[in-house]
Chain A
Amino acid sequence: MNATRHAIGQGLRRGSTEFVLSLRSAQDQGFYIFMGLGTLAYLWFNRDNELEGTGLMVTTFALPSILGALLAFGVIIGPAYSLAMEREDGTLLRHKALPHGMQGYVTGQLLYHSLSLLPLLLVILVPSFLLFDDVMSNGLAGWATVAWVTVLGLLATLPLGMILGSVVPSVQKVGTWGMLPIIVLTAISGIFSPMQALWGWVQVVAQVFPTYWIGLGMRSAFLPDEAASVELGDSWRTGMTVLVLAAWAVFGLLVAPRVLRRMARRQSGSKVLEAREAALQWVR
């Protein structure tokens, strides 16, 4: 038991090291700036537009939704890519060869991808406050809501990313198996405009997955209470948000360890070598 706790400590150190190294890397800085600029540009060009028949500004509606969508997107695709990649390059195998290494590795992944959200949220939130009016209508209570929605959202989606990264056959497949469905899901989850515009069955599908609920939770944090009239059922449905996200969290925490164990069991030096040769072929 002691060794397990120690390994989790190692994992936390690993996650924070990865995060610091990522902050220092030009590639990741570029990614954050790109995401920040992209989002701000969208908001900026829509700053004078009103959401049809709602009296709400597009900016006001979209900013919290986008934060929610980025959270869900980032912590599903991030771990999925990392896992698929680190399975191929031998990082995972190195940990498999260590006592309690997999526990440490997974801990590191969870911490790293959670921390990676911070700069992403910051590059969007800080300039938004400077550029737009009425971004946060609910003061401290609103920030408290942001905090719990973020934590619950992470719990609901991080395991999904780990599961996805474990089941995809190779890095190149993360795009088709992961990116594509998640992009479609984001598109139908009412991020840029209320989802009532979509067909009924699409709304039902969207409401099964966490992206919609994280976006809704974020809107409930940032928007004034009157804005709830734009939502389905004219309400923030806070109870339902907690329920759905918690259900996904439970699902993920039950399934992810099993899938991870199964995936780890199959790792070996020759698998890494095969992946390397496949990658070399692919590059040529």
Chain B
Amino acid sequence: MTSEQQQEAVHPQPPAQATERESVVRVRGLQMTYGQKEVLTGVDLDVHAGEVVCLLGPNGAGKTTTIEILEGFRLPSGGEVRVLGEVPAEAGDAWRARVGVVLQSWRDHARWTPRRLLTQLGGYFEPYSTTTHPRPYDVDWLLDTVGLVDNADRKIGTLSGGQRRRLDVAVGIIGRPELLFLDEPTAGFDPQARRDFHDLVHRLSDLEGTTILLTTHDLGEAERLADRILILTNGHIVADGSADELTREVAGTAEVRWSRAGERFVHATNEVTPFVRSLFEQYGDEVDDLEVRRASLEDTYIAMVQRFESGDRAATPTLTEVSG
């Protein structure tokens, strides 16, 4: 320990460290190979303190693998990974206490009740409680927060799928984590549960300052929750930015629809305002049913994934610049 400290004193870190310290998650050149199959070919990503970052990508792109490496549940084949300043696979129990993981269970603890289970699992965090950051959360508060109050004393085996997922979320955050990983948290949620979950994420992020990294297939969810969206495909991050930035970056186009004299027209353009102005200058009141439809995140996502799956790597540099 002391030798390390001395080393640091002899070789002071460059000032860049100040900004790095805010990186709760820092990944450089992350690679993962299963046998012959390269799942991750060089993932670079940062998650800053207090951010909600959403990782999107087609099935098999390596989202779960990435998250599991960050959780310390899987060893990467190569690259540099730092989570809360430590290498996850080697980090100790004090690090574990600061990280929350939402897991998808299926039949575990069937005889327990949610209250009993949360009390039991939360107990492990007590030694890591401090006056400024008390751990774990109060079980009653948590049950209320995830909407399980009415089912708190039922056997877990009798809960519905949606209730079980709420419990999974509660178990994941019971230790009041500074960083929370969620792998497809809303899979199997009904719309109400999904809305409740989104509220919960906002609350954790706004009130608690929890840093959150989640994966999802629901683009609406990504748009709603994420400060920043990363798209992972073909083993690396191909896009990094807010939903707005991404939409502008790729699809760029909006569709303008209108009708004139009973005939319908569609025009795709990047320059919506000038086009619509010229439309009115030309035809005035004859223009009817005017509709401008911006490319959605979904359009963007599909366009991006298709572009990269078809092997158009040339576009990579301009896209990753967004992250800078």
Interface residues of A (CB under 8 A from B): 2-3, 6-7, 10, 13-14, 17-18, 21-22, 24-25, 86, 89-91, 93-94, 96-101, 104, 267-270, 272-273, 276
Contact = CB atoms under 8 A, between A and B. Distances in A.
Contact of B124 (A104, A268, A272, A273): A104
A90 B68 contact: no
Contact of A97 (B96, B107, B111, B120): B96
B112 interface: yes
A18 B110 CA distance: 11
Interface residues of B, number: 36
B303 interface: no
Contacts of A18: 111
Contacts of B106: 89-90, 272, 276
B149 interface: no
18 contacts: A3-B128, A17-B112, A89-B106, A90-B108, A94-B103, A94-B105, A97-B101, A98-B96, A99-B94, A99-B124, A99-B127, A101-B96, A268-B68, A268-B74, A269-B68, A270-B68, A272-B105, A276-B106
A269 B124 contact: no
B175 A98 contact: yes
B73 interface: yes
Contacts of A17: 112, 116, 120
B120 A14 contact: yes
B83 interface: no
Secondary structure of the A contact surface, majority rule: helix
B197 interface: no
A93 to B, nearest CB: 6
A21 B108 contact: no
Contact of B125 (A22, A96, A99): A99
A17 B64 CA distance: 33
A89 B124 contact: no
A89 B107 contact: yes
Contacts, number: 95
Contacts of B112: 17, 21
A6 B124 CA distance: 7
Contacts of A3: 93, 127-128
Contact of B171 (A2, A94, A267): A94
Contacts of B21: none
Contacts of A98: 96, 121, 124-125, 175
A215 B210 CA distance: 57
A6 B126 contact: yes
Contacts of A10: 120, 123-124
A143 B249 CA distance: 80
A245 B35 CA distance: 43
A238 B97 CA distance: 48
A86 to B, nearest CB: 7
A86 B124 contact: no
A175 B124 CA distance: 34
B96 A94 contact: no
Given A86-B108, A101-B124, 9 more contacts: A3-B128, A7-B124, A13-B120, A17-B116, A91-B109, A98-B96, A99-B127, A101-B96, A268-B68
